[in-house]
Amino acid sequence: MAKNRDSHPNQFAFTFEAPQPATLPAALAGMDARIARTVAEALKHDDRDRKVIAAEMSVLLDEEVTKLMLDAYASQARDGHNISFARMCALIAVTNRFDLLDRELRAIGAAVLVGDEIYTAQVGHISSEISRLQQQLKSLQRMNPTIQRNRRK
């Protein structure tokens, strides 16, 4: 069961459920407000001053990000001040809130693996391939073909 992010801000709520792609009409309606809430959540659960977060984002992006910009991005009422994807990525990297990125990407049918977690996914993929090949081997063994060369009758 997923943990509540408010009570365990460092716990990544991992799920094995495959996310479903957003294909229905209006599936992403209200996404700007949702992203603003996500920005606000990332900022709220970081103990650092927003000026520090903005400065770290500025370094990553090599462009200025200010506290006022972060305030605007976090406000659902300021629909003309949406965060760019590049700045959202910088915010996620600086606050280390990959769980929030995962949550938003699941809305479109994707999921996030962070760092060495890719190896866990690779282990699962290899295990799946081994299982598939073992089934194929068993199927061929049931046929039990005999290879005979140069037979004389």
Percent above pLDDT 70 for the chain: 87
Beta strands of 38-141 (E only): which ranges? none
Q: What is the pLDDT of residue 144?
A: 77
Residue 122 belongs to a domain? yes
Residue 47 belongs to a domain? yes
Q: Do 103 and 126 lie in a common domain?
A: no
Q: Do 82 and 107 lie in a common domain?
A: yes
Q: Do 65 and 47 lie in a common domain?
A: yes
Q: Does the pLDDT of residue 90 top 50, yes or no?
A: yes
Q: What is the pLDDT of residue 23?
A: 75
Q: Which domain holds residue 84?
A: 31-112
Please say whether the beta carbons of 31 and 22 come within 8 A: no
Closest CA to 81 of 136, 36, 125: 36
Domain count, the chain: 2
Q: What is the pLDDT of residue 66?
A: 97
Between the alpha carbon of residue 21 and those of residues 36, 58, 81, 122, the distances in Å are 21, 32, 27, 22
Residue 19 belongs to a domain? no
Distance in angstroms (rounded) separating the CA atoms of residues 12 and 103: 10
Q: Do 71 and 140 lie in a common domain?
A: no
Q: Do 52 and 87 lie in a common domain?
A: yes
Q: Do 55 and 124 lie in a common domain?
A: no
Closest CA to 93 of 121, 119, 112: 112
Q: What is the pLDDT of residue 4?
A: 44
Residue 48 belongs to a domain? yes
Residue 91 belongs to a domain? yes
Distance in angstroms (rounded) separating the CA atoms of residues 80 and 124: 43
How does pLDDT run across 26-66, given as a tens digit for each residue?
Answer: 877 888 889 999 999 999 999 999 999 999 999 999 999 99
